[in-house]
Amino acid sequence: MKRCFAKLTFLLLLLAVALPLAAQDLASYEKRVSVKTLPNGLTVVLWQRPEAPVFSFFTLVDAGSAQDPLNKTGLAHMMEHMAFKGTPDIGTRDFAAEKGGLERVEQAYAAYETERSKPVGRDPQKLAQLQKAWQDAMKDADQYVIKNQFGEVVESHGGVGMNAFTSYDETGYMYSMPANEFELWAALESDRLQHPVMREFYKERSVVMEERRMRTDSQPVGRLIEQFLGTAFMANPYHRPTIGYASDLQNFSATDAAKFFQRYYVPSNMVIGLVGDLDPAQAFPIIERYFGRLSNTPKPEELHTEEPPQNSVRQVTLKDPAQPFYLEGYHRPNYLAPDDVVYEAISDILSNGRTSRMYRSLVRDKKIAAAAAGFSDWPGIKYGHLFAFYAVPLPGHTTDEMQKAVQEEVVKLKTQDVTDDELQMFKTRTKADLIRGLASNEGLAQELATYQTRYGDWRELFRYLDRVDKVTKADVRRVANQVFSDTNRTLGVIQTQMASGQPAGATKGAE
Amino acid sequence: MRVLPSRFAHVLFCFVLTLAVFSPAQEVKPWNAVQPPPLPAFKPQEPVRVQLSNGMVLFLQEDHELPLISATARIRGGSISEPANKVGLTELYGEVWRTGGTKSKTGDQMDDFLEARAAKIETSGGSDSTSISLDCLKGDFDAVFAMFLDLLHNPEFRPDKLELAKDQMYTNISRRNDDVNSISRRESRIIAYGKDNPYARVPEYATVAAVTREDLLKWHGQYIYPNNIIFGINGDFDPKAMQSKLEQAFASWQKGPDAKKPEIRFEQPKPALYFVRKTDVNQSSIDMIDLGIERSNPDYFAVSVMNELFGGGFSSRLFNNLRSGKGLAYSVGGGVGYGWDRPGLTNLQMQTKSGSTVQGLEGLDGEIDDLRKTPPSAEELKKAKDNILNSFIFQFDTPEKVLHEKMTYEFYHYPLDFLERYRREVEKITAADVNRVANKYVHKERMAVLVVGNDAAFDKPLNTVGLPVQNVDITIPPPPASLMQQGPGGN
């Protein structure tokens, strides 16, 4: 988990010696946070920060691409896109008519898809007819649409930073607004979490395919990562791409997305973080009114499949018309493991700034890489995941050299204690970064929602620092010995192989 | 938001709860029935401006929320002033100024000192300025500021760090054709401004190799004078005490020659279809390119409203029509560019699958035709202005944003109340204004088109578009022989 933000009260208590902060400041910070779980199970954490009349929110849905059904990768992310398409109240000229139109689209699509997926005996003429019927139905439903009205309302009321993301673990929605628009925000956000409408679904699916082409297909490192994760994980859904496989993106339906929504977008599976000029005494009644509408549906079943222990070396070699790149990853347990914070210490000591080991060794002293780092929490944290290393070779240097240099650092961690200075830097930086993170409404809203979801209590934001303070040199060495073994490793490299007619990058390439 | 005293607010709280139990539906309004109360008056705190007798301008912005202090000195003179045979000099200077350390401390010793305090001192080089900044917990300020001053006055530019920085630039050069976006960003600027224009030229192995330590020392001696510097500081300090601390640090510093802005000619790009072949992609990047305007242009306000409705937000025409309406792109947008003291880069861009490249281009063309022909409806105009005006608070919702805004105006000699003026002018913009600037600044026939993609999979050949097709060779010029012997990245 990214620990870049806010662990306030405890932090400030711990730092009371180092930082000249008055005691009344501590008390005032503590008073700023209110938390409430509505009867339907939705939890809202609110941090009052009245510096300017604005606020930010972060809605966290505890479902990500790890929840994508088999055959339908990319569905969680597709649902994220659909959450901007409006509701029965917003984005339509006539919902009653549109509703019927959308149902006909689904019927026509199902018929078309059934014919299209026939392994044998597919009738091309019938398929063409069914495709036309589907397209006609979409055209018919489209006439009722007011395009992007949801975004338009947010923006014309002063909303900024409107965005969303889907990760393996979760789906997040965010924007910021002037504080006087709080009730409008509550109306809009609760409406789309209650009944999003799957309008323009198949056009949006094409948009998502473009997103896949942009992020994965047409990017060398994107291509490597898809292959790498597919190799590093077998059982856990982390082996599938969040964006979805192209074939699944061409197959799943609006009905599938609606089902995903019904199952995972339930109040007890969501947390909202709010930070800004909001008085809890006035904000919570509004939250109760609007978000109280969401129906009380049981929390979806947890994923139980655990990644079996890796007992073999795995490797991916991408022969690509791009410059070389090096990646390696080791399986580690999920974020609730007692040693979670030790991985953070290792990551900080290896990678944070110009004093870090990877920089000093591979970049400064060996002069073989332009950048190199070791990092934890990839590609998610909720399930067993990876501690990974990457290195960007300088022209003329190979990925084999990267591997050797990374191994030297790994061996060093396993056989020698880190220094007192290194460990102290990790602790000092973690605390200071927390303070810096408090300056951002957006960042803080995300942290509140994330900690409340992952630990069941936003106060873990603070308690984390206790754990940081307890990390010892022996912990680092012990964990390094547990995790960094040959048979727990997956390698991923890009080897330069120019396509014909493609200009080479470095004349002194790695080949 | 805080209308009621809290005692009454609690009463209201219980009352609403009770109601919610019996008839929640009555309490919930549809989005379009919600009446927002007026936004409470908010006057952002203005930084204190002080000009020293040596010409240095100081801005002090007090902010006691967190126990932190950050400061930046922006210094006139940047890469547009570097010699053509040493492109990359300013970038190297911006890196090695910090990593090369001071006369008494190596960069590595500085790293150890700063990281132990979770503090930063950084330097960087940009197109028209360089900068040196610090960021620390307030208790460490004196020690960190002393180091900042040492680096400002006594940089050493140690040769080993220059070599390290050069190796990193060689790496970037070697990788610059791996990524579609990096190609289209670079080539767009070259097409718009011209290959040799200081705003467009790019470092090559030879120009980076040509930079010496003496060049960095010379640059420092030429530009780093108080009369070229705008210094801004933000954070938890007493302004009077801080001001005297800064005056003590800077007031006796002798003036030097003023940094001169180079004379740069801008010519209209040559309309053509510029094509870069990249065979390992399944999506094309399309850019329509022209020279834009300066912000000091009186049309700037109308242009910014036009950009908002045309290619700005989540509900702009390009987003609505080409993304949501046609499903042609994930990434689409753009508008007439504006620079502070030079013409900006006008750029309409989209990325679409190889098989709809020409269709995408025609889509952009059609939107331009429509923009010029059809003035916005009253509703569309209102939306665009509301987008800008109602979110205006986010221009100055933190003291740090206000500080940086003022420093920028000072740097480019704009009135310090330019932001307020912007708001007043945007309020006045009419549909006719938007239509007028669309016709004045958006010319399809004047625009160059850049396509990066795999033409083997295009929907139609590019020569059907009606523009002369010009293939762009992006082959990276090889390193000079001297560098080959030594070997970039070699020991």
Give per-residue pLDDT as tens, A282-319: 999 999 999 999 999 999 999 999 999 999 999 999 99
**Cβ separation A220–B179 shorter than 8 A:** yes
> Looking at the partner chain, which of A51, A285, A428 has a beta carbon nearest the beta carbon of B118?
A428
User: Of the candidates B372, B357, B355, B376, which has an alpha carbon nearest to the alpha carbon of residue B447?
Assistant: B372
A463: pLDDT confidence band, cut at 50, 70 and 90? Answer: confident
The pLDDT assigned to B143 comes to: 98
User: Of the candidates A163, A155, A85, which has an alpha carbon nearest to the alpha carbon of residue B312?
Assistant: A155
The pLDDT assigned to B484 comes to: 73
A23: pLDDT confidence band, cut at 50, 70 and 90? Answer: very low
Mean pLDDT of A375-386: 97
Question: Under a CB-based contact definition with an 8 Å cutoff, are residues B347 and B360 in contact?
Answer: no
Q: CA triplet A291, A297, A298: central angle to 5 degrees?
A: 130
- Please give the helix or strand (H or E) that residue A465 lies within, else none: helix A460-470
Beta pairing, strands A270-276 & A43-48: parallel
- Give percent above pLDDT 70 in chain A: 92
Using an 8 Å CB-CB cutoff, list chain B residues near A213: 281-283, 351, 353
The pLDDT assigned to B482 comes to: 82
Tens place of pLDDT per residue across chain B (491 aa): 233 333 333 333 333 333 333 333 447 999 999 999 998 889 999 999 999 999 999 999 999 999 999 999 999 999 999 999 999 999 999 999 999 999 999 999 999 999 999 999 999 999 999 999 999 999 999 999 999 999 999 999 999 999 999 999 999 999 999 999 999 999 999 999 999 999 999 999 999 999 999 999 999 999 999 999 999 999 999 999 999 999 999 999 999 999 999 999 999 999 999 999 999 999 999 999 999 999 999 999 999 999 999 998 888 999 999 999 999 999 999 999 999 999 999 999 999 999 999 999 999 999 999 999 999 999 999 999 999 999 999 999 999 999 999 999 999 999 999 999 999 999 999 999 999 999 999 999 999 999 999 999 999 999 999 999 999 999 999 999 888 765 544 33
Using an 8 Å CB-CB cutoff, list chain A residues near B36: 157, 180-181, 183-184
> Looking at the partner chain, which of A188, A203, A352 has a beta carbon nearest the beta carbon of B31?
A188
Classify domain B48-250 by CATH number: 3.30.830.10
Strand partners, A332: A385
A500: pLDDT confidence band, cut at 50, 70 and 90? Answer: low
CATH superfamily of domain region A314-496: Metalloenzyme, LuxS/M16 peptidase-like (3.30.830.10)
**Cβ separation A396–B490 shorter than 8 A:** yes
> Looking at the partner chain, which of B1, B32, B34 has a beta carbon nearest the beta carbon of A179?
B1
**Cβ separation A504–B387 shorter than 8 A:** no
Best to test chain A binding among B66, B166, B172, B174 (most A CBs inside 10 Å): B174
User: Of the candidates B135, B128, B122, B115, which has an alpha carbon nearest to the alpha carbon of residue B94?
Assistant: B122
Cα within 13 Å of Cα(B395), Cβ side: 15
Q: Which CATH architecture has domain A57-291?
A: 2-Layer Sandwich (3.30)
Chain B residue whose CA is closest to A284 = B13
Using an 8 Å CB-CB cutoff, list chain B residues near A370: 167-168, 171-172
**Cβ separation B67–A21 shorter than 8 A:** yes
The pLDDT assigned to B27 comes to: 79
Q: Using CA atoms of A410, A415, A416, A418 in order, give the dihedral in degrees to the nearest 10.
A: 40
User: Hey, what CATH topology would domain B273-471 get?
Assistant: Cytochrome Bc1 Complex; Chain A, domain 1 (3.30.830)
pLDDT digits (tens, 9 = 90+) for B444-481: 999 999 999 999 999 999 999 999 999 999 999 999 98
**Cβ separation B279–A53 shorter than 8 A:** no
SS3 A164: strand
CB pairs under 8 A between A and B: 304
Strand partners, A374: A389
**Cβ separation B111–A219 shorter than 8 A:** no
Q: Is the pLDDT at A235 greater than 70, yes or no?
A: yes
Mean pLDDT of A340-345: 98
- B374-378 contacts: CB < 8 A, separation 24 or more? B374/B435, B375/B431, B375/B432, B375/B434, B375/B435, B376/B309, B376/B431, B376/B434, B376/B435, B377/B431, B378/B431
Using an 8 Å CB-CB cutoff, list chain B residues near A219: 179-180
Chain B residue whose CA is closest to A282 = B9
Do B273-471 and B48-250 have the same topology in CATH? yes
**Cβ separation B1–A395 shorter than 8 A:** no
The pLDDT assigned to A1 comes to: 40
**Cβ separation A204–B394 shorter than 8 A:** no
Q: Is the pLDDT at A25 greater than 70, yes or no?
A: no
**Cβ separation A54–B351 shorter than 8 A:** no
Using only C-alpha atoms, chain B has a radius of gyration, in whole angstroms, of 27
SS3 A254: helix
For every residue of A31-75, DSSP letters joined together read TTEEEEE-TTS-EEEEEE-TTSSEEEEEEEES--GGGPPTT-TTH
- Domain locations in chain B as residue ranges: 48-250, 273-471
The pLDDT assigned to A461 comes to: 86
| Mean of the per-residue pLDDT values of chain A | 92
Best to test chain B binding among A40, A156, A320, A402 (most B CBs inside 10 Å): A156
pLDDT digits (tens, 9 = 90+) for A114-148: 999 999 999 999 999 999 999 999 999 999 999 99
ipTM of model = 0.91
Distance from CA of B105 to the nearest CA of A (A): 15
User: Of the candidates A115, A86, A114, A82, which has an alpha carbon nearest to the alpha carbon of residue A254?
Assistant: A82
**Cβ separation B31–A90 shorter than 8 A:** yes
- Give percent above pLDDT 90 in chain A: 88
The predicted model scores a pTM of 0.93
Chain B residue whose CA is closest to A294 = B24
Strand partners, B469: B273
Distance from CA of B143 to the nearest CA of A (A): 15
Do A314-496 and A57-291 have the same topology in CATH? yes
Strand partners, A496: A320
The pLDDT assigned to A498 comes to: 80
